[in-house]
Amino acid sequence: MRMTAGVVVRITTSSSESQRPDALEVLLDLATDLTASLGALDRYGRLLAAVRRLVPYDAACLLWLQGDELVPLAAHGLVPAALERPYPRHRHPRLDAILRSPSPLLFPHDSVLPDPFDGLLTADPHALERIHACLGCALTADGEVVGALTADALDPDAFDGLDARVLATLGALAGAAIRTASLIEALERKAERGTRVARELQRSADESGGAAILGTGGAIAALLSEISVVASSDLPVLVTGETGVGKELVARHVHAGSRRREEAIIHVNCAALPESVAESELFGHVAGAFTGAVRDRAGKFEVADGGSLFLDEIGELPLSLQPKLLRALQQGEIQRIGSDRLHRVDVRIIAATNRDLISEVERGRFRADLYHRLAVYPIRVPALRERREDIPLLATHFADSTRRRLGLGPLRLGEDVRERLAAADWPGNVRELENVVNRAVLRAAAGRPAGAPIVVGLAHVDVAPGATREEPPVSAGEGLPGGPLREQVEELERKLIREAVERCGGNQAAAARELGMHRANLHHLSRRLGLKG
């Protein structure tokens, strides 16, 4: 065999005497493994062990071709770091030559092409800097190159006399093994994702009941308009609003109006995630990654692949996890705990919070870059007191839903009840209204014969007239100018806020508590009234 510096020399040996005696047995074992029920790691390990029976290597690596990069699947004789990075073919001319060659390649001892695994051998990290034997074989399946097999030996003559036909057959069987393993992995991932999606959809259906956004007033019309504008895009959406206004319902409507509507929207309640399991819940883990991780588990990002991920109460996400979430949003890549592999995911993010995230950023409790990544298109859900005209409609809807669940007869709300409900302040918003109506229906139905008409009266409604909480005492019109009612009300609000903030020494949170408001709502109201720049 002629060796020329810097030139790849093909193996041309074909004598049966050069073939190792157990070659046919090894090839038969590999062919048998193709139909065996093996996990991917077991399949790759058996493949390298079989290669060693034919090729006397000191180090070998099995690589899978993904785009223009070779990704290590398994290795022998190489340090773990060799498996933790991809090998772009344009940066590694030896690997590129292997992939381009229709037959196995044996590199000359004095080749100037750098060895991709130089410095990575277990026995002697720098052995490949010296003269050594190196061969490679492209792995094919259905006529397509799917990967590469490389082998290095410290003895420069270790690979002399190998039969190129056997190596070519080995490459074809190894390629088929990789294709089989990748198909099995894909099927397993699809089956696992399908199971988890089904569970998530069932839970979501139980919680939401496929509810619609009800309302005929201007506030709801504006909200629905905002949803229709952003839904068809893939932009991240940040839904804000007080507790109980229906932020999850808005998120589901955004998903329903998107091109992802046929896929699932996966719900994650960030407030319910202990910091110790939050990363696993979002990104998944591999078996053995930590105590109790007995098997591989996909995270919510993988489960939501192709669909939408609803991150509820995003303001409660632990600060330590926010950089990893930011990376997933920016690059579309996630990494399971304990794994070196990156998974690409195609997920639309819809987040929701009742916190004022701008204030959280200012206080260092939320990353500014993550906030801006999430709030590409913010949607504010109005409080119930901002759309009082919709309260009778909502109350009737909740009453009828309860009637149907309980199997009651005809039911109506008395006019005095409708007026009382419309006049209340509802700090708990739609959720509180639903609870009040449900209790009222139960009380009104108590002791009534089955199927008998039911009228819900004031005696059945446990909500105070006029307001549900005590307001700070103030004399109407005291110190206020004349003018249109709206201007007088706004001036009164400014006066009350200024006085509360002064009494609390400038502490916005304390002032909000004194006024019976959420801090975020006080912030938004102050901005609207011109009290903040």
- Cα atoms in the Cβ-side hemisphere of radius 13 Å centred on 66: 15
> pLDDT at position 381, please?
94
Which of 423, 444, 460 terminates a domain? The answer is 460
Q: Is residue 287 part of a domain?
A: yes
Whole-angstrom Cα distance, residue 361 to residue 344?
29
Same domain, yes or no: 293 and 402: no
Same domain, yes or no: 424 and 514: no
Same domain, yes or no: 146 and 226: no
pLDDT over threshold 70, residue 336: yes
Sign of the alpha-carbon dihedral angle for 277, 280, 283, 289: positive
Angle ∠(237,241,246) on CA atoms, nearest 5: 85
Least confident of 26-40, 394-408, 518-532: 26-40
Same domain, yes or no: 372 and 392: no
Q: Is residue 473 part of a domain?
A: no
Q: What SS3 class is residue 179?
A: helix
Confidence of residue 197 (pLDDT cuts 50, 70, 90): low
Given phi > 0 = left and psi -120 to 50 = alpha, else beta, which region is 366? Answer: beta
Counting every residue written for the chain, the total comes to 533
Whole-angstrom Cα distance, residue 425 to residue 436?
13
Same domain, yes or no: 68 and 137: yes
User: What DSSP line would sit under 156-211, residue for residue?
Assistant: TTTTTT--HHHHHHHHHHHHHHHHHHHHHHHHHHHHHHHHHHHHHHHHHHHHHTT-
Same domain, yes or no: 296 and 388: no
Contact between 201 and 57 under an 8 Å Cβ cutoff? The reply is: no
What distance, in Å, lies between the first and last C-alpha atoms of the chain?
Answer: 81
Tell me the residue range of the domain where 429 lies.
384-460
Residue 398 belongs to a domain with what CATH number? 1.10.8.60
Confidence of residue 406 (pLDDT cuts 50, 70, 90): confident
The DSSP letter of residue 318 is -
Residue 63 belongs to a domain with what CATH number? 3.30.450.40
Closest CA to 410 of 452, 466, 360: 452
pLDDT over threshold 50, residue 161: yes
Stated pTM of the model:
0.54
Residue 343 belongs to a domain with what CATH number? 3.40.50.300
pLDDT over threshold 80, residue 189: no
Residue type, 364: G
Instruction: Indicate the number of domains in the chain.
Output: 4
Q: Is residue 1 part of a domain?
A: no
Closest CA to 6 of 112, 114, 105, 107: 112
Helix, strand, coil percentages (3-state) for the chain, rounded to 5, are 45, 15, 40
Question: How far, in whole angstroms, is CA 478 from its chain's centroid?
Answer: 54
Same domain, yes or no: 404 and 317: no
Which of 345, 361, 380 terminates a domain? The answer is 380
Q: Is residue 289 part of a domain?
A: yes
Residue type, 203: R
Which of 169, 184, 199 terminates a domain? The answer is 184
Across 263-289, b (16+ Cβ under 10 Å) vs e yields bbbbbbebeebeeeebbbbbbbbbeeb
Same domain, yes or no: 94 and 61: yes
